[in-house]
Structure 1
Amino acid sequence: MRLLIVGTLGGQLAVASRMAMDRGASVVHADSVETALKTLRSGRGADLIMIDVALNIGDLIRRLEQELIHVPVVACGTTTNARAAVEAIRAGAKEYIPLPPDPELIAAVLAAVAEESRDLIVRDDAMARVLRLADQVAASEASILITGESGTGKEVLARHVHRKSNRADKPFIAVNCAAIPEQLLESELFGHEKGAFTGAIARRIGKFEEADGGTLLLDEISEMDLRLQAKLLRAIQERLIDRVGGARPVPVNIRILATSNRTLADEVRKGTFREDLLYRLNVVNLKIPPLRERPADVIALAEHFAEKYAKVNGLKPKAIGAEARRQLMRARWPGNVRELENCMHRAVLVAAGDEIGPDAILTPDGELMGAPERPDLDRTVARAAETAEAVTRALVGRTVADVERDLILSTLDHCFGNRTHAANILGISIRTMRNKLKEYAEEGHAVPPPGQGEARDVA
């Protein structure tokens, strides 16, 4: 993780910097807001900014927004700076860290604000096979396409591939193609020159250059516009990028990973994704199975999240009870690991007693997860299924003509012989109805007489 500390690097702020480095963060220092902005524009990106409350935090956040630089900001200051802390939060800072710093608080903020999760819990053979393939190809330079439903952990696997690669000590840069407006994504990826468009007040280095030497993750790449896909294809093929408004190409050395929750071959057939780009990205495909197909992972992940959120919320760890485990295993998890994580966070907070019981395994709207349907509804559904099965069995072995005749005569009987009404129900013309009835009468079948008020010229 890359941390940018803004302010005079002395005293307690220096201590916070050392604590962050002890936690594995790569730390860069800037003594002012202007220096911090120059650092970010130059391609020395950051996952998190920690800034002294004595500086103008509102100005920093406003200028970050103007230049379309998306980095969370955390304010730091002495515990006596209560007013400054409040003003920093109002200005847009995500958190306030009192100084002198606490090691656990620093660690929690680095994890929570930067949202960099490295947890990869694998117990199921289906997922283990994917992980083995990921480990096998991680050291290569091949582009990798990671596919799977939303919430299965595609970005987590991408970070794992980077950590196992020969580029592990270089930047890992992730871009969510679905979260950035189409008109801004080009600048976000390739950067821009000063004056290239309205609001481009200075040169900005894009994610391609920021990831130089390392790995660039294009998250949900299926959301990218076709025009931009063409520019991306050239960048991958030539290892050259063009900044928006730039006069000459810029060489880059990166490895591309991409994710999609759609089947890109289908998008190619629809004309929304370039086939040649798919071939470039899909040298190796890591397809993550949905959580419902990884039953052995469910409990392992549930235990991990239960422990994690007990610690985050300052609660005593609780084991997951036997019935709660059965509930977790029965659930379908359409939201996959992300849904399971939210469920266990909720369970940790609402569970009473010494363990997490079935009453704590709740849906987002507070209902018991996997609660049985009402008995009367179950009986109705069962009867309907039995009736449908009986009807199906009765049709087996009969000709279409026989089934059609019985349907027409039964409908006519239901309508008390009214030909017009029966024809409307069956969706046929009255002439077709009359011809069919004449045919049945000639074959010796009993045909109901016409209903009251209808002409008696048939059968």
Structure 2
Amino acid sequence: MRLLIVGSLDGQIGAASQIAMSRGAKVSQVNDIEMALSSLRSGKGADMAMIDVNLPISSFVESLANERINLPIIACGVNTDATAAANAIRAGAKEFLPLPPDPELIAAVLEAVAQENTNLVFKDPAMQAAVSLAEQIAPSTASVLINGETGTGKEVMASFLHAKSSRSDKPFVCVNCAAIPENLLESELFGHEKGAFTGAVARRIGKFEEANGGTLLLDEISEMDIQLQAKLLRAIQERVIDRVGGTKPVPVDIRILATSNRDLAEAVREKTFREDLLFRLNVVTLKIPPLRERPADIEALADYFNKKYSDMNGIALKPISEAALNKLKINPWQGNVRELENTMHRAVLLAQGTEIGPEAILMPDGTSIPEASPAQAAPAAAAMPGTGLPAGTPADTVDASIPLVGRTVADVEKDLILNTLEHCLGNRTHAANILGISIRTLRNKLKLYSDDGVAIPTPGSNQRASI
């Protein structure tokens, strides 16, 4: 945890620093906003800034945004009235802390930031297998590719790997490759010299140098332009980078972690991702299963988010009723853990009475979660194709010969694959997971069917079309 304190804080700086350091934070202090920006540009980095409420916070927030520096800001001050605190929040600060510092209050803020990206909550055996593999490979220096659907917790897993590694006392730096425009991502990664391009008002140290000695996470790396991938490959292979506009290479020592919600092998076939870069990145591939494939985690995560948002909003903790829990368990959670978190935040705010009831478990548009979900219907169709009977129907009560006799195994398999793909709205990855086959096997099957003139469900639709 790296804490940057901006301002003198009327002599309270020493006490605040000591409390933060006693809680494990690495503290640096500057007197004003320009010095803070200079420190951040130089590659020292920070995970959070505490700033004097009397400094121009809005200007600081604007400068950070212009230079694409993502940094949570906590405003603080001595004998500050409510208006100043409210203005600080409106200017972009996440919280306000009164001074003199209260040790427990500062500790709570630091822990909230530190734990936001490292708290792994799980109970399901499927997730336990992923965590066990992560613990096994964490001490190594090998690159790791973390694969999983959006919202499954890939960045949390990356933080966990860093925390368990021999580099845990060094920086952990994250770059979201999907959120930064292509023409700016090179500068974000490798830095730039003053005047290298329009808007380069000062030298800026990139994320590679900022992470030196520690870990660099390339989040959603599949979104990186293929031309920039060549420069990334060189940086990983040779452990040197070139700043934009620079004249000499800069050595770096980092461990690379990367995440993707796409099948990078498929991206290689589509020529949008370099195969040699994929080989460099996935020394170990760590796959995080979607939430619907680890049902035991739903209750554990719901309890965790219930407590988190009850504490955050100053609301007495209410137990989740059995009926509410059943509604959570039947939802397919297409948005995975992130969707469940938002649902529980809403439930904490909307719940009335002494417990969180099913009426508080709502979709984002305010509608209720359906009593029966499509996710539950799919296994039924897969288990008993053509019978029309629900999952779990005893085998000895089914006259399976009626729909199946006279049909070949290949025909039954084809119907199963196509029906499952229709259920998944053409999503090949989801269908392969349900069917228990690889995405490559699924695509090969679909190609055979298409070559035979069979219409195939298209992505985003349950309608079939020739491909």
Secondary structure of the equivalent of 1:362? coil
**Residues 99-138 of structure 1, C-alpha deviation per residue, up to 9 Å, x if partnerless?**
2334454345446678833211121111111111111111
Q: What is the match of residue 273 of structure 1?
A: 273
Q: What is the match of residue 54 of structure 1?
A: 54
Counterpart-to-counterpart distance in 2, 1:304 and 1:90: 29
Within 5 Å, give how 1:162-201 maps onto structure 2: 162-201=162-201
Within 5 Å, give how 1:256-335 maps onto structure 2: 256-335=256-335
RMSD: 2.7
8 Å CA contact retained: 2:74, 2:94: yes
Aligned in 2, Cα 1:229/1:323: closer, same or farther, shift over 3 Å? same
**Residues 174-202 of structure 1, C-alpha deviation per residue, up to 9 Å, x if partnerless?**
11111111111111110000110011111
Report the TM-score when normalising by structure 1: 0.78
Within 5 Å, give how 1:319-358 maps onto structure 2: 319-358=319-358
Counterpart-to-counterpart distance in 2, 1:156 and 1:318: 26
The answer to whether residue 212 in structure 2 is matched with residue 212 in structure 1 is yes
Aligned in 2, Cα 1:60/1:360: closer, same or farther, shift over 3 Å? closer
Aligned AA (2:49):
I
Quote the offset at 1:220 in angstroms: 0.5
Counterpart-to-counterpart distance in 2, 1:222 and 1:168: 26
8 Å CA contact retained: 1:66, 1:199: no
**Residues 366-385 of structure 1, C-alpha deviation per residue, up to 9 Å, x if partnerless?**
22223359xxxxxxxxxxx9
Quote the offset at 1:264 in angstroms: 0.5
Counterpart-to-counterpart distance in 2, 1:62 and 1:344: 32
Quote the offset at 1:69 in angstroms: 2.7
Q: What is the match of residue 119 of structure 1?
A: 119
Counterpart-to-counterpart distance in 2, 1:156 and 1:83: 36
Aligned in 2, Cα 1:337/1:372: closer, same or farther, shift over 3 Å? closer
Q: What is the match of residue 20 of structure 1?
A: 20
Q: What is the match of residue 71 of structure 1?
A: 71
8 Å CA contact retained: 1:111, 1:117: no
Secondary structure of the equivalent of 1:356? coil
8 Å CA contact retained: 1:48, 1:114: no
Which blocks of at least 5 consecutive residues in structure 2 are unaligned?
374-384, 390-400, 408-467
Quote the offset at 1:36 in angstroms: 1.6
8 Å CA contact retained: 1:13, 1:99: no
Counterpart-to-counterpart distance in 2, 1:16 and 1:72: 17
Aligned AA (1:39):
S
Quote the offset at 1:355 in angstroms: 1.9
Aligned AA (2:154):
K
Counterpart-to-counterpart distance in 2, 1:321 and 1:84: 41
8 Å CA contact retained: 1:171, 1:212: yes
Report the TM-score when normalising by structure 2: 0.76
Q: What is the match of residue 155 of structure 1?
A: 155
Counterpart-to-counterpart distance in 1, 2:118 and 2:90: 31
The answer to whether residue 100 in structure 2 is matched with residue 100 in structure 1 is yes
Counterpart-to-counterpart distance in 2, 1:210 and 1:372: 49
Quote the offset at 1:22 in angstroms: 3.5
Secondary structure of the equivalent of 2:276? helix
Quote the offset at 1:266 in angstroms: 0.8
Aligned AA (2:184):
L
Quote the offset at 1:322 in angstroms: 1.8
8 Å CA contact retained: 1:233, 1:277: yes
Counterpart-to-counterpart distance in 2, 1:372 and 1:65: 44
Counterpart-to-counterpart distance in 2, 1:387 and 1:121: 39
Counterpart-to-counterpart distance in 2, 1:230 and 1:223: 14
8 Å CA contact retained: 2:117, 2:155: no
Aligned AA (1:215):
T
Q: What is the match of residue 134 of structure 2?
A: 134
Quote the offset at 1:35 in angstroms: 2.1
Quote the offset at 1:12 in angstroms: 2.8
Aligned in 2, Cα 1:334/1:9: closer, same or farther, shift over 3 Å? same
Aligned in 2, Cα 1:212/1:342: closer, same or farther, shift over 3 Å? same
8 Å CA contact retained: 2:333, 2:339: yes
Aligned pairs, number: 386
8 Å CA contact retained: 2:7, 2:31: yes
Secondary structure of the equivalent of 2:116? coil
Aligned AA (1:153):
G
Quote the offset at 1:294 in angstroms: 0.5
Quote the offset at 1:18 in angstroms: 2.9
Within 5 Å, give how 1:337-416 maps onto structure 2: 337-371=337-371
Which blocks of at least 5 consecutive residues in structure 1 are unaligned?
374-384, 400-459
Could you tell which deviates more after superposition, 327-336 or 140-149? 327-336
Could you tell which deviates more after superposition, 153-162 or 101-110? 101-110
